[in-house]
Amino acid sequence: MADPGPLLVYGPRSTTYDFGPAHPLTPRRFGPGISLLEALGAVPNLAPEPATDDELDWVHEAGYLEAVKAFSVDPAAPSRAGIGPGDTPAFAGMHEASAAVAGGSLRAMEAILRGEVVHAFHPGGGLHHAMPARASGFCVYDDPALAIARVRRDGLRVLYVDLDVHHGDGVQAIHLDDPGVLTLSIHETGRYLFPGTGGVNELGEGMAAGTAVNVPLEPGTGERPWLAAVRALVPELAAAFGPDVVVSQHGADGHAWDPLAHLNLTTTAMGEAARLVDAVAHRHAAGRWLATGGGGYDVYRVVPRTWSLVWLAGAHRDVPAATSADWRTRWATEAARYGQTPLPATFDDPPNAGEPVDAAQDAAERRSTATVALVRRAVVPRLLREARDRGWWDPLGAAPAGRPADVEPPVATTGMPTILPVVDAATWDKLVLAGGVLAPADPGAGHALIAAGLRDGLRATLAVSGTSVVGAALSRPVDGTSRADMLGLGVAAGWRRQGLAGRLLAAHVEGPPAGVDELAAELSVADRDPRDPLDGRLRRDIARRLFEAAGFTVRSADAGLRTADPAAIVAVRAGT
Ligand SMILES: [Zn+2]
């Protein structure tokens, strides 16, 4: 049977979210948007109805709901709670219309959680700027944050991927101190664009340190650095974090033709990003994926194709060669009225949307590429970066079938585990990796990754109980130097607080391989157990004492890394 595609959320209430004819977030987008989806065979099959007040209360304050309801009956009331003339004006019925957007995303998520569908797409959703007590940036109720809150009520973990050109500030703020929600936003830098936030140093606090990730790109940046950020960070963060559900926001306003922002993206890149999110959901979250729309103000040429590409990704279908000729004919006159012609004949765009990359774009892209590298260094565990860059591991590859792994490690009972100072590949193959020792979150993938590393210069010191690896210290010589870098140091949750990490490190620094006379470790927010996190500051203090006790000198990391993670440290042990 053909894949019916994602549950498609759209109905009569979708077009009631309407700030008026002069507002950029216009319900006119649903006309060409839904009809292009229908031309692909998509059928809207979930009509949004308003979420209840109890549901909206999960992320919004009661006084704010009262304010929205008051504007709903009296749109002329004086401005408050972010509602009034400007970005988010009042309109009659705005509570019901806004609650219906929230309800669409909530019902879609419930269908996913019940297992009725694996994927759902809500093009009218993605109102990611709404705050607990304030409307912002065309957004009244925060439907992605509510869908995430619904998942959290079931105790499941969420990866949120925000591809809108604007920082996903509301979703980030609402879930900022929840270590069970990882938000990733890739956007135009707030130095030039609303809402002004989303810097590389917004990483989350306390137990949730490392669960907010932001990639601010320079104005003028095109698809290559943007896709580089998506391709690197989405699969690597998913592998490290281990989500149960993926929620994504596919604003189309990063497109080169969008009138409100300054990135130079293409529908081609947006489609590839959607397919990558789909692949990540299947590899890391049992397929559970809610996609939403978002911004997008070129509503004839760009928004419909972007929505179609997201839907096609969720339907696991190839991109057709051409957009429907009937669709182009049907919307040509209306598109011309708004200066958005001609309607493109293809879903994908030519490279760089058909424009040459000039010197200014090239300079912007160099800065953006450096930002992507910096963010990856700060938030992706070193072991995963090294493993991917060296070809030990593919975060989207099939789950390894070989050696089983213990998701729940054996509980520490009597006696300490045995320390194996140096382990070869043959020994490793007989062992099982416990969960939570090291990234990735899936210990089966971790076992395969380390097996590949051991054939490529990785040095492993292990703590073993029975056949179960409950702690590990890993390093590898840096090519062309006499230094080795620590790639990971970890102990499974049930085996912590008894000095095991210190014993592992002490054993690891003994007898380094020939030619290595210095061992270095760089520690950032990436170095954490995402399932059993410690307060970020406490974790850093423990690491500092641990490395100093093993003869390392600990200092602040270089200024570059500290722009993202001010508390990042480097530990160096010379003369081993
Ligand atoms: Zn899929």
Q: Is residue 1 very low, low, confident or very high in pLDDT (cuts 50, 70, 90)?
A: low
**CA 313 to ligand 1 center in whole angstroms:** 7
Which residue in 572, 568, 548 sits closest to 558, CA to CA? 568
pLDDT of 411 > 70? The answer is no
**CA 6 to ligand 1 center in whole angstroms:** 8
| pLDDT single digits (tens) 191-234 | 999 999 999 999 998 999 999 999 999 999 999 999 999 999 99
pLDDT computed for residue 408 by the predictor: 55
pLDDT computed for residue 405 by the predictor: 58
| pLDDT single digits (tens) 159-188 | 999 999 999 999 999 999 999 999 999 999
| pLDDT single digits (tens) 16-73 | 999 999 999 999 999 999 999 999 999 999 999 999 999 999 999 999 999 999 999 9
Peptide bond into 195 cis (omega under 30): yes
| Contacts of residue 72, Cβ cutoff 8 Å, sequence gap at least 6 | 90, 92, 93, 94, 95, 96
pLDDT computed for residue 414 by the predictor: 52
Helical (H) or strand (E) element with 367? helix 359-379
| pLDDT single digits (tens) 506-544 | 999 997 788 899 999 999 999 999 999 999 999 999 999
| pLDDT single digits (tens) 133-160 | 999 999 999 999 999 999 999 999 999 9
| pLDDT single digits (tens) 247-265 | 999 999 999 999 999 999 9
pLDDT of 502 > 90? The answer is yes
| pLDDT single digits (tens) 83-94 | 999 999 999 999
**CA 386 to ligand 1 center in whole angstroms:** 28
| pLDDT single digits (tens) 553-563 | 999 999 999 99
Q: d(Cα 107, Cα 394) in Å, to the nearest integer? A: 34
Strands (E) located in 355-467:
418-420, 432-433, 459-465
**CA 315 to ligand 1 center in whole angstroms:** 7
Q: d(Cα 539, Cα 533) in Å, to the nearest integer? A: 9
Percent of the chain clearing pLDDT 70 (strictly above): 97
Q: Residues with beta carbon < 5 A to ion ligand 1?
A: 278
**CA 241 to ligand 1 center in whole angstroms:** 19
Q: Is residue 406 very low, low, confident or very high in pLDDT (cuts 50, 70, 90)?
A: low
pLDDT computed for residue 84 by the predictor: 95
The residues pairing with 468 across neighbouring beta strands, listed in sequence order, are: 432, 465
pLDDT of 318 > 70? The answer is yes
**CA 228 to ligand 1 center in whole angstroms:** 21
Q: d(Cα 366, Cα 124) in Å, to the nearest integer? A: 34
**CA 317 to ligand 1 center in whole angstroms:** 10
Residue 490 backbone dihedrals phi, psi, to 5 degrees: -155, 155
**CA 276 to ligand 1 center in whole angstroms:** 10
Give buried/exposed letters for 84-96 (b at 16+ CB in 10 A, else e): beebbbbbebbbb
pLDDT of 374 > 90? The answer is yes
pLDDT of 109 > 80? The answer is yes
pLDDT computed for residue 499 by the predictor: 93
**CA 510 to ligand 1 center in whole angstroms:** 48
Residue 468: helix, strand or coil by DSSP? strand
- Please tell me which residue in 119, 128, 129, 175 is annotated as part of the active site: 129
**CA 181 to ligand 1 center in whole angstroms:** 21
**CA 177 to ligand 1 center in whole angstroms:** 29
Around Cβ 175, how many Cβ atoms within 10 Å? 26
**CA 419 to ligand 1 center in whole angstroms:** 43
Would strands 569-574 and 459-465 be described as parallel, antiparallel, or unpaired?
A: unpaired
**CA 15 to ligand 1 center in whole angstroms:** 27
Q: What is the overall mean pLDDT for the chain?
A: 95
Which residue in 292, 295, 223 sits closest to 259, CA to CA? 295
Question: Residue 129 catalytic?
Answer: yes
